[in-house]
Each structure stands twice: as structure tokens, then as C-alpha cells.
Structure 1
Amino acid sequence: MFNERTALKIRLEQMADAEERILQEFRRERQTILERLRELDASESAVGELEYGGSADIVPISSALDSAEPVRKSGIRMTKPKKIGKSRQMHEAAFRILKERLQPVKGTEIQEFILNETGFKVANMTTFMKTIQRKDKQVRKLDRGLYIFEKDS
């Protein structure tokens, strides 16, 4: 006879199995990530040996993460080149086209310009342009799909 108690026990067993599968997936993913990080560290150390003539200053990522202080190479702070994010590139391209043209610009023209300039497609033009308007109060929506950059007079 099948009752609620039996059904609950079966469900608990199913949940335990599902938890174990999920934990195994996380362990596998963690392992692949750690392996990839080791590969990247190895390739960086090879590049570092070519650039700096030795690998004495290279610290493995596991020990670098364990230490509280930042890793420095013989007192010289290494600065990474600053990357501009995808959305910032898109915003700058939108500002550029709006500032170049004095007349109203269609949203589709802005979208095409951004795609050509950055290689990124604007998923939702209305939301994107609302963000642009919040960033710069001189950008204004004139009508449906028409935007303009108004210079202060």
C-alpha cells in the first residue's frame, strides 16, 4: 500500500541522489578550473622567463591567494592594462554618434553605428538609451525612436 509516508521517504532519497550529483558536478567543474589556472600559470611563467630572464619572482596562484599581502616583483608594482568593458564601449560609441550629428538620430542608426564600431549588438535599444540619458542629461528623446544631444547654450 502506497501512502504519504512512503512517498516522503522516496522523495528524500531522490533529493539525496540529486544533491550528490550536483556536488559531483561542482567538484568536476572546480577541478577543471584549477587545472586551467595551472596551465595559465605555467604559460605565464614561460612568458615571464622570456621577458624577465628568470622565474624566481613568480608565485603560484594558490600561495598568492593564501597570502594577505599583494605579490610584488622586486619592489616594482605591476600594473595591468585597463580594459574597457562591453557596455562602456557601447555607451561611448552612442555618445560619439550623438555628439557628431546636430540633428536627431534614429535609434536604429545608433544601433547600427554601435554594432559597426564595437562589434556588440544592443539587445534592447529603449533600455540602452534610457541608461545613456541617465548618464548624460544632454541626451534627450525627442520622439519615438529619435534621440538628440543638446549642447548647452
Structure 2
Amino acid sequence: MMDWKKDRIQAAKQGENPMVLAKMKSGFAVIGDTQFLPGYCVLLPNRKVDSLNSLTLEERSDYLLDMSLIGDAIQKVCSPLRINYSIYGNTDTYLHAHIFPRYDWETEERRVKPVWLYPSESWTEDQYLYHENLHEKLRTKLTDALEKLVYERGKRL
């Protein structure tokens, strides 16, 4: 078995990425490694590419729609104030989209700024990391919501 974090996309394809919530048309919805903002997810593409612009126009359309469907699922399950979407590729140098719920319980200082400005502990301390025993109910609800959205999308195509 491979170390799934070394190649998250390949691990998802092989069924070895434990963070996968659902297979989407353009890739894989995964729950975030950290959950200081409950419901944080990432969309991994079907194939490793450098950026959104490396995809065909049809693939881009599918990818961006899937990204928004993950946002819909998070809204349904977590009832956040809003959803923030971001695609960077600076640290992990392949296409992946972050889908962050933002909440009214966040301090005003945090809520109006990018999540990347949260303290480094939010990304690394054990209390904020995804743990199956703590997040299983959230994960199940997100998976159920995503599967319904994917099914509905398939019916419309």
C-alpha cells in the first residue's frame, strides 16, 4: 500500500485515499486534513495537471461545477454563512481546489480575511486535524449530500 499523502490523486484512483468522500465527474471530493472550519473539503482532479488552464474547456467546466456542488453539500450539511473557493497550486504544485465554509462564529477579524491567515496551529495541531472518530458523522452527511448532488447532475446530462 502506498503512502496516500505522497500522491493523493493516484491514491484516490486506487481506493487508498481515506479522505475521499465521493467520486465526482471531474475528480474526487475529499474531506480536508484539518477541520478547524468544519466541512472544509478539497476537490482533486481525475488526472494530475499543473493548473485549471491545463484542462480542456469541457474539463474546466466540469471541474468548476463539481467544485460548486461540493460547496452546495457543505452548505446543506454545515449551514455556514458563506463558502469560499480557492485554487492556488503554490505548495502542492498540482491542480486542487479548496472549499472552505465560513461561519458567523468566527471572529470578525478572521471571517473577513482569507483562511490562510489563520494561525499555523490551526493547520497542524492535533485538536484541529481530521479524526475519523470525531468527524465520522460530518463525513457521512457530506458523502450522502454529495452522492445525491452527483446523482441529480447525472440525471440532467
Structure whose alpha-carbon radius of gyration is higher: 1
Q: TM-score when scaled to structure 2?
A: 0.23
More helix, by proportion: 1
Structure having the higher strand fraction is 2
Higher relative contact order (CA 8 A, sep 6+): 2
